[in-house]
Amino acid sequence: MQVEEIKKLKVGEILENVSLRNYTTYRLNTIGRLLVFPQTIEELKKLISYLKTKEIPYKVLGGGSNLIFKNSTYEGVLISLKKFNQLSIIDNQVNVGAGHSLIKLALKTASLGLSGLEFAAGIPGTVGGAIFNNAGAYQSDMGYVLWKATVLTPSLEIITMTNRQMDFHYRTSFFKKNPNYIILEGKFLLKRGKKDLLLAIIQDRRERRMESQPLTLPSAGSVFRNPKDIAAWQVVEKLGYKGFSVGDAMVSEKHANFIVNTKEATGEEIVELITKIKKDAAEKLKIELVLEQEIIE
């Protein structure tokens, strides 16, 4: 990789051979050969144009809350949109950068008496990542509240996409099927609500999550989508995988649809555990478990 050439592009802060422990919620000690933090759209466009010309693989990072880096090293370029974290709230319209924390956004809007994002108050990661995956909880998701998005196309044009164009469905979207489109900003239309009631709902749900989910250990949230007519955790429990480990990757004893990193789990161990569960679900229960997380080779 032409590291020095990339540095000369002046496309933001660059870190070399960096542990991704602090950039993934699984806290995997994968090494990223190059991690770049562009600050402007022009820097992002310049960087991607160069990488495409040189045929260098790259991956855009959100909060790393849905990613499994399978190998000990990622040889391509990782692009963090952490600096794209602007926030503007006018009446009930919220414009927010893709790199903004989703949890912070949910708490901020609730504290202003704006309703619609309470479901997101316990979902780690960034706004861009949440839109990409159509993150959701409590019978709601990003597709219910997102109005429009500003997007960088594969040809490096900036366009605005409407909710309908983003084709939201259960834990998927246009972006998941077309990952070369990069979300830059989300525009939400929220409803007026009572601040105290909204914050009380968020607090109640937080307490329920603490009781039912393994939040004290690194994980990436739900591993599998819920199949029809049965919860994914019930499938995993029925197969006897609750508490089962591959190395330091373990199916949580608290919630069977979570895999946790008990110490120094590797991406390879997590993927092996996922593969075992999927294989058994298909063979023993005739259920196809669909992975909600993304495996990066």
From residue 223, alpha-carbon distances to 16, 62, 179 in Å are 30, 18, 20
Is residue 269 flagged as an active site residue? Answer: no
What is the rounded distance in angstroms from the CA atom of residue 101 to the CA atom of residue 96?
10
- DSSP string over the chain: --HHHHHHT--SEEEEEEEGGGTSTT---PEEEEEEE--SHHHHHHHHHHHHHTT--EEEESSSTTEEE-SSEEEEEEEE-TT---EEEETTEEEEETTSBHHHHHHHHHHTTEES-GGGGG--SBHHHHHHHT-EETTEEHHHHEEEEEEE-TTS-EEEEETGGGT-BTTB-HHHH-TTSEEEEEEEE-EE--HHHHHHHHHHHHHHHHHHS-TTS-EEEE-BPPPTTS-HHHHHHHTT-TT-EETTEEE-SS-TTEEEESSS--HHHHHHHHHHHHHHHHHHH---PPB-SEEE-
Q: Crossing angle, helix 102-111 and helix 195-212, to 10 degrees?
A: 140
Is residue 222 flagged as an active site residue? Answer: yes
Active-site choice (118, 185, 269, 292): 292
Active-site choice (27, 222, 252, 269): 222
Active-site choice (27, 115, 171, 185): 171
Is residue 171 flagged as an active site residue? Answer: yes
What are the catalytic residues? 171, 222, 292
